[in-house]
């Protein structure tokens, strides 16, 4: 997908601007990676501008959950996406983004990383309110 944002706009006079060149590779973007929960992890590396590699998690199974009280981090299985306050549609579909609340083997945790950008799901444990 190429963002070709300026070549089709209008001039100050109201006349149409005609595209004066083709689309360039550096204008390329991509759709957002909507990380979901699954049985088999799917991590995809992508080449980005400048030859950099962006790692995206398409399907997640595990999360690195850290306990703020003890400071211990463990790799545990994600059982369910409880809620996602960033988007109502993501909440309904169970998409994992930063700020999503997930249920793990250790309990409820809040995702602190950006799985579609970082290539890993990091989370911190929530204190259970009783």
Domain ranges of the chain: 33-125
CATH for 33-125 is 3.10.290.70
pLDDT in tens, 47-69: 988 889 999 999 999 999 999 99
Angle at 33 between CA 29 and CA 38, to 5 degrees: 160
Q: Can you say how many angstroms the Cα of residue 68 is from the centroid of all Cα atoms in its chain?
A: 23
pLDDT in tens, 82-125: 999 999 999 999 999 999 999 999 999 999 999 999 999 999 99
């Amino acid at each position: 997908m190429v963002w070709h944002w300026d070549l089709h706009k209008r001039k100050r006079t109201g006349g149409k601007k005609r595209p004066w060149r083709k689309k360039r590779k550096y204008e390329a973007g991509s759709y957002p990676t909507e990380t979901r929960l699954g049985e088999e992890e799917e991590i995809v590396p992508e080449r980005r501008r400048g030859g950099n590699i962006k790692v995206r998690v398409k399907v997640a199974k595990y999360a690195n959950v850290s306990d703020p009280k003890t400071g211990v981090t463990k790799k545990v299985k994600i059982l369910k996406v409880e809620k996602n306050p960033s988007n109502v549609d993501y909440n309904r579909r169970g998409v994992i983004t930063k700020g999503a609340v997930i249920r793990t083997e250790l309990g409820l945790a809040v995702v602190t990383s950006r799985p579609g950008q970082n290539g890993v799901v990091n989370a911190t444990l929530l204190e259970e309110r009783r």
